[in-house]
Structure 1
Amino acid sequence: MGGRVSETTSLATPEEADISGGPHGIIDDRKKYFHCSPVVFMTHHKIFAARGRPEVDPWGFLLPLSPVVWMAVGYVGNLTSLLAVRHISHPYQTLRDVIDDPNIKILLMAYVPELTLFKTVESGVYRELADLFDTERVTVSTYSNLVADMNRLARPGTHVVFDVDINFWNFMAADFSLTGQCDFYVGQSTYFPLPLSIMAQKNSPVSPAVDRDAFALMESGLFNKWMKYSLANTTACVNPPMVITVTTVLSLANLWGMFVVLGLGCGISCLVFLLEKIVSSTKPLTEIH
């Protein structure tokens, strides 16, 4: 969904179709040839990336001491589970996070107006992104190859994708249906709001009917409902957990933080004891008596 600009305009100019087969983004290039209906759906550009691997939190033993746990169900019942906490990182939430990390590459879509916009700005994060276009950190793909490139480049964690979020939700729903797990996440920051509409030929007699039906879809919320239920598991990975608990044997690998605290405590105690002995040994006998 969204389509490539070149394909959409080539369909409109020779008048091969009366209306679009689905909603497309409203951009200047398309408005030259299309009549755009009222907006039926809003999408945004976001960061799409692979989730990190579960990592042991060596300080997990401190979590039962938090006020939230004490107010909830107490210390004893939570100690065992919180010692087995695993954290899954979602490091790339914004374009700034991506640009500042020289080890990550960016996958962008060809034939989209954002590529031109990036090159026209003079400063800021978009300018910095445009400066990377001629480097190996930027890879350009097409919508026909998007799914394959997301599996090939984004899944191993070498690339993030910057595109409209509706493509990400559809991909993650299909991927969850196959694997039963959430291997990707979508960043929180949003860029470039993109309204979608049904498009028809300029001065087409069907335009009034298209406008009426599009407005009815938006007003009733029917289109949003279609989007939600068009694929199975569309909401399964909307908010994947970043903290999970697992059943595991306690070992030094996940308890070394506890021994660090114990060692520091013993060290400080010994230091205080030695200071007390030194101070007491330097006092005059009269003061001692």
Structure 2
Amino acid sequence: MTVAMVSDDPVFLATLAEWSIKDHLLPWSTRLLVLTRLPLGRLNNIRRTLSMTKSILLLFTQSSTLSATLFVDLPYSPEGTQPLAVGFWSPEKGLHTTSSFLFYSKKFSMLAHRPRLVVSRVVLGTEKTITIDDPDFPGQKKIIGVNAENELIETIAKAMNFTTKFVRPADGHWGYLDSDGTWTGMIGMVHRGEADIALGLFTMTPQRHTVVDFTFPVAISYARILSARSAPEVNLWGFLLPLSTEVWVAILAALGVLMLFMMVPSCLPHQTLTRTRLLTSAYSCVRVFLQQDLIKKQDWWWWERVVLGVWMLITVVLTDSYAGNLVSLLAIRTISESIQSLQDLIDNPIQVLTVKGTAEEDAFRTATSGLKKQVWDLEKQNRLRGIPADEMEGVTEILLSSYAAIINLEVYQKKRMAKEFSRRGKCIFSLSRSRYVPSLESMAGAKNNPLIPALAHKVMQLTEGGLYNHWQSVFFPNLTVCLSAPTKIAITSALAIRNIWGMFIVLAGGYILGLAALCLECCFKGALRHNIF
């Protein structure tokens, strides 16, 4: 849409220009054509509007011959800079351009005066910062973050011809709507005009979109739970693990059936074997299973030899399989991952951490039902704590020194895991499998600021070209190492008593049963006087 404004009244032009900016009457997509006979010196009140919109100024000369000069005000022009004359019009010659600058071009694609834009950012605990000499302002220092986001904005700055000045919000927050109706953090700085760009991975939300505009998404992310990995644990009943439960049941059932089979002849009408021999044969099955020698007899029947021989073969295979697996399993330690969902946070007596001023925290704070509401209610039990974004450096020690977990965007959780892996050489954190609060992450700028569409175009080019992901891998080379860390590890050290003490419990239980049997035999000695054994 093209809007033509014709007036020689400076008050009218100034008022309309003020309303256009204050009430966003002229979005970037609208083309504005201003026709006036006022001299340039009386148009200073509207030049900011002209510079921040797709506008052309037609300044008619007050002479006998009708003619007009076409001017374009460039954005972020220094004070006192004259607008750029781009053409001339007259009834005789028509329109004649005097500059290669296109009339309705994207003025923000290449900023002519190399302005210094204020970039609001919060340095997270997962990031490294360095102080360097500012090449654009000799004698001044510049603090930059060594991360993919900083590389992204610096690359865009070179492409669009501007420099950056990083500032930190006083509260250290990303930005949320406070109870008094004001915006905090980086979002608040952009909304109040204290910063041109808010640098970071901001979650796009309808509430934030009412006060800021977002660039093309840099990433798609989710909120996940990060907690410390537990120490390797030894399974008390690990000596039972070489064989599955079904195999143990099958072995005991086979032993019982075999013992009954050995006693079948005792049920025949004319017993050919004495009862004592039958019980001895049945007991031999148990001795074979326990790898003991057989009772020496001179009159073994062939059917007994065949049955016991087959049972010996099966027992040899089972015991060798059991021994081989047991050696492997005794060298395995299990690492439990108890915190995998919001329900785990609720059920376990764990301290829950969130990042203040983030959309993820807001999703839990505004929940009216479900698990998110239950997690937020942990605040009443002093189990929920919010941490400002610029104090995230101490989160690692909190997670390692106490029973705690943090809910944050997975991209930052991965960075923390990668940073600690690079420093310690091992994975010390566990990331939950469950994901929450899916979101589009991008940079933010002032509402209806035409700089944002130009930034969005550059961001789209860089992200679709894979440069952002490349920078992530460069600055965090171990970004994915701990995502699939094993939950079982092999130990090559000597076995300790804690590794096999479950077997001693079984031994102690056998002693107790033997003692109980001894007591029973002593009590019923008279009844056992005619023992058939």
Q: What's the TM-score, normalizing by structure 1?
A: 0.78
Instruction: Name the CA distance, whole Å, in 2 between partners of 1:130 and 1:58.
Output: 37
**Using the alignment, how far apart are the partners of 1:19 and 1:9 within structure 2?**
9
Q: Which runs of 5+ in 1 are unaligned?
A: 272-280, 282-289
Question: 1:64: Cα distance to partner?
Answer: 4.0
Deviation (angstroms), 1:191: 0.7
SS of 1:57 mapped into structure 2: coil
1:33 pairs with 2:211: yes
> Which secondary structure does the structure 1 equivalent of 2:482 belong to?
coil
Deviates further, 209-218 or 170-179: 209-218
Structure scoring higher RCO (CA < 8 A, sep ≥ 6) equals 1
TM alignment of 1:33-182, pairs within 5 A: 33-65=211-243, 79-101=326-348, 103-148=349-394, 150-182=395-427
CA distance in 2, matches of 1:165, 1:11: 26
Q: CA deviation at 1:75?
A: 6.7
- Give the 3-state SS of the residue equivalent to 2:419 in structure 1: helix
The yes-or-no answer on 1:198 pairing with 2:443 is yes
Task: Show the 5 A alignment for 1:187-266.
Answer: 187-258=432-503
2:174 match: 4
The letter of the residue matching 1:4 is W
1:188 aligned partner, one-letter code: R
Matched-pair identity in %: 32
**CA–CA distance in 1 between the matches of 2:195 and 2:369?**
41
User: Structure 2: how far apart are the matches of 1:23 and 1:226?
Assistant: 15
Offset of residue 79 of structure 1: 4.1
> Would the alpha carbon gap of residues 206 and 221 (structure 1) be closer, same or farther in structure 2, given more than 3 Å must change?
same
Tell me the CA shift for residue 225 of structure 1.
2.8
Counterpart for residue 287 of structure 1: none
In 1, Cα distance between the equivalents of 2:200 and 2:386? Answer: 25
**Preserved contact between residue 24 and residue 196 of structure 1 (Cα < 8 Å):** yes
Q: Deviations over 1:182-212 (max 9, x none)?
A: 1111111111012111333333333333222
Closer, same or farther: CA 212–181 of 1 in aligned 2, 3 Å: same
Unaligned stretches of 5+ in structure 2?
1-121, 125-172, 176-183, 245-316, 518-526, 528-533
Rounded to whole Å, the distance in 1 between the matches of 2:389 and 2:371 is 24
State which structure, 1 or 2, has the greater radius of gyration over its C-alpha atoms.
Answer: 2
Name the structure 1 match of 2:143. none
Instruction: Give, in whole Å, the separation in 2 of the partners of 1:117 and 1:17.
Output: 26
Cα deviations across residues 98-132 of structure 1 (Å, max 9, x unaligned)?
A: 1111x211112222344454344333212212222
Specify the SS of the correspondent of 2:405.
strand
Q: Secondary structure at the match of 1:238?
A: helix
- SS at 2:486 equivalent: coil
Letter in 2 for 1:125: L
CA distance in 2, matches of 1:22, 1:99: 30
SS in 1 for 2:489: strand
Separation of aligned partners in 2, 1:57 and 1:160? 25
| Structure ranking higher in helix proportion | 1
Aligned 8 A contact 2:191 2:447 in 1? no
How far, CA to CA, are the matches of 2:339 and 2:187 in structure 1?
A: 34
Q: Secondary structure at the match of 1:131?
A: helix
Pair 219,55 (structure 1): closer, same or farther in 2 beyond 3 Å: same
Q: 1:225 to 1:259 in 2, by over 3 A?
A: same
| Distance change (3 Å), C-alpha of 1:107 and 1:177 | same
Q: Which residue of 1 aligns with 2:281?
A: none
| Change in 2 beyond 3 A, CA 1:228/1:77 | farther
Of 160-169 and 14-23, more deviation after overlay is shown by: 14-23
Q: Distance in 2 between matches of 1:32 and 1:11?
A: 14
Does the Cα contact within 8 Å between 1:11 and 1:17 map onto a contact in 2? yes
